Amino acid sequence: MDHFLYRDGVLHVEDTPVAEIAAEVGTPFYLYSTATLVRHFRLFDDALSGMPHLVCYAMKAASNQAILKTLAAEGAGMDVVSGGEYARAKAAGVPGERIVFSGVGKTEEEIAQALTGGIRQFNVESEPEMQVLSRVAHQMGVEAPITIRVNPDVDAKTHAKIATGKSENKFGIPISRARQVYAMAAALPGLKVIGIDVHIGSQLTDLAPFELAYQKVAELTETLRADGHEIMRLDLGGGLGIPYARSNEAPPMPTDYGALIQRTVGHLGCEIEIEPGRLIAGNAGILVSRVIYVKEGEDRQFLILDGAMNDLIRPAMYDAYHDIVPVVEPAPGVEQVAYDIVGPVCESGDTFAKGRTMAPLKAGDLVAFRSAGAYGAVMASEYNSRPLVPEVLAKGDHYAVIRPRPTFDDMINRDTIPPWL
Ligand code: LLP
């Protein structure tokens, strides 16, 4: 459920008409709903309420300071994957002890940054990383709390570009080598082994792969404990999928996911962490865009929008489906037409949908891409020198621009001219 609903025939974000915001901010722009963000966070938090736990929002999904502050105020921790994300989390007021550091390529600088600013744990992904972490922590005279990310070789049954839990993926250490690598970690200075980490992929619409992976983690916990390691925390990753098309079957609910966690690892007495990104932010955001032209092709009609692949890359990159709805609700029973929905960027890949049937639209009409809150604004670029798409956050009947659209001068003045020109 989200808070983007038609009221009196016009799309609202919570209590504000979307068209009112478009008139002030201009299009395209991302628009988030506070109530939806909070609701989704609480669903996870409640789903784990029977166990000691921390929900660490995977801020790669949407990392605007206002979004982080909204979630941090609810008690969210953060899952970060770069020095930039760590700095953003700290700037939003998240204390180090609520930040976990994931990612396959943490640099020495990033490791030192997190050790200096405080960190809940590093999720270590390889032996060489473990050695660097040990050296940096030892030199700084501190102990780095670590989990080791294991790759359980489970098929997440999701898009190949976002599956991470198969042995051919670059993530984690093979679970078959876990005992050896934990033994190595225990012997290294500057490290304190505290748990196990796993993350098998994103946009999972079936719970079965989670179940398989978490069973393997439960077995590994017992084995490692028998080997003398103190395993007190399990980071179970993110990945729960969302419905992108309203006609689709509903993916599993966080409550079912929470029950699965309880069932598979609840008996171990570990503190549980999860790292959801998409399910918290995805349906809490839309991309609002305006029709520039309706163009007649030879055998099709093109709807040319002012939003483009640089603003929302998911359809071009993953063939992702997003519902695209008119901001003014069509009259019931109106005859539908098929459109190829495209942006103005000079590539055929700048196509959001082909043959999408919807009520007829004309130049000047507003449309909303639903489910665009996660991996939308964060993956935007200025390709074709289109200024970075702005972001707006709504709450009840207020809204605020949380990242303004850069002017052309802002864009140009970021470049610097070498002395010979
Ligand atoms: N934890 C780790 C270690 C991850 O790599 C990810 C996502 C998450 C948590 C959060 O997963 P989520 O709950 O959001 O599924 N750009 C792609 C998605 C990439 C996901 C990368 N890792 C897309 O637009 O579909």
What pLDDT is attached to residue 59? 98
Model pLDDT for residues 229-282, shown as the tens digit of each residue: 999 999 999 999 999 987 666 889 999 999 999 999 999 999 999 999 999 999
Q: 358 and 228 share a domain?
A: no
Domain of 253, CATH number, reads 3.20.20.10
Q: 202 and 248 share a domain?
A: yes
Q: How far is the CA of 128 from the centre of ligand 1 (A)?
A: 24
Model pLDDT for residues 65-124, shown as the tens digit of each residue: 999 999 999 999 999 999 999 999 999 999 999 999 999 999 999 999 999 999 999 999
Say if ligand 1 is within 6 A of residue 251 CB.
no
Say if ligand 1 is within 6 A of residue 123 CB.
no
Q: List, in sequence order, the alpha helices (H) in 252-389.
A: 254-265, 278-281, 314-318
Q: Give the atom of ligand 1 at the shortest distance from the alpha carbon of 123.
A: 3
Q: Give the atom of ligand 1 at the shortest distance from the alpha carbon of 81.
A: 3
Q: Spot the catalytic one: 1, 187, 331, 346.
A: 346
Q: 228 and 175 share a domain?
A: yes
Site of tokens 């709450």: 395
Say if ligand 1 is within 6 A of residue 40 CB.
no
Q: 213 and 299 share a domain?
A: no
Say if ligand 1 is within 6 A of residue 172 CB.
no
Say if ligand 1 is within 6 A of residue 58 CB.
yes
Say if ligand 1 is within 6 A of residue 290 CB.
no
Q: List, in sequence order, the alpha helices (H) in 81-207.
A: 83-91, 108-117, 127-140, 178-187
Residue 381 lies in a domain: yes
Say if ligand 1 is within 6 A of residue 110 CB.
no
The 3-state DSSP class for residue 277 equals: coil
Say if ligand 1 is within 6 A of residue 277 CB.
yes
Say if ligand 1 is within 6 A of residue 399 CB.
no
What pLDDT is attached to residue 168? 81
Q: Give the atom of ligand 1 at the shortest distance from the alpha carbon of 61.
A: 14
Q: What is the DSSP string of 360-379?
A: ---TT-EEEESS-SSSSGGG
Say if ligand 1 is within 6 A of residue 238 CB.
yes
Residue 419 lies in a domain: no
Domain of 375, CATH number, reads 2.40.37.10
- Which residue stretches of the chain have pLDDT < 70? 247-249
Mutation to probe ligand 1, out of 71, 278, 371 (largest number of atoms < 8 A from CB): 278
Mutation to probe ligand 1, out of 197, 200, 202, 321 (largest number of atoms < 8 A from CB): 202
Residue 182 lies in a domain: yes
Count of domains for the chain: 2
Q: What is the DSSP string of 29-44?
A: EEEEEHHHHHHHHHHH
What pLDDT is attached to residue 163? 80
Residue 169 lies in a domain: yes
As a whole number of angstroms, the longest Cα–Cα distance in the chain is 71
Catalytic-residue membership of 346:
yes
Q: 174 and 44 share a domain?
A: yes
Query: What whole-number distance in Å separates Cα of residue 247 and Cα of residue 315?
Result: 18
Residue 420 lies in a domain: no
Q: 199 and 339 share a domain?
A: no
Q: Within a 10 A sphere around the Cβ of 217, how many other Cβ atoms?
A: 26
pLDDT above 90: percentage of residues in the chain: 94
Q: How far is the CA of 313 from the centre of ligand 1 (A)?
A: 15
Q: Within a 10 A sphere around the Cβ of 270, how many other Cβ atoms?
A: 23
Q: List, in sequence order, the alpha helices (H) in 124-200.
A: 127-140, 178-187
Residue 245 lies in a domain: yes
Q: How far is the CA of 278 from the centre of ligand 1 (A)?
A: 7
Q: 146 and 209 share a domain?
A: yes
Query: What whole-number distance in Å separates Cα of residue 137 and Cα of residue 130?
Result: 10
What pLDDT is attached to residue 342? 98
Q: Where in the sequence is the domain holding 297, given as residue range(s)?
A: 4-31+283-413
Return the bridge partners of 274, or none. 55
Q: 152 and 260 share a domain?
A: yes
| Final residue in a domain of this structure, among 251, 281, 311 | 281
Q: 122 and 269 share a domain?
A: yes
| Final residue in a domain of this structure, among 281, 312, 338 | 281
Residue 345 lies in a domain: yes
Q: List, in sequence order, the alpha helices (H) in 92-126.
A: 108-117
What pLDDT is attached to residue 167? 80
Question: Which residue's CA lies nearest to atom 9 of ligand 1?
Answer: 238
Query: What whole-number distance in Å separates Cα of residue 81 and Cα of residue 123?
Result: 10
Q: 258 and 308 share a domain?
A: no
Tell me the whole-structure pTM to 2 decimals: 0.97
Please give the helix or strand (H or E) that residue 193 lies within, else none.
strand 191-197
Is residue 194 within 8 Å of residue 147, measured between CB atoms? yes
Q: 222 and 200 share a domain?
A: yes
Q: 55 and 18 share a domain?
A: no
What pLDDT is attached to residue 261? 98
| Final residue in a domain of this structure, among 281, 310, 336 | 281
Q: Give the atom of ligand 1 at the shortest distance from the alpha carbon of 164.
A: 5
Question: Which residue's CA lies nearest to atom 7 of ligand 1?
Answer: 202
Residue 73 lies in a domain: yes
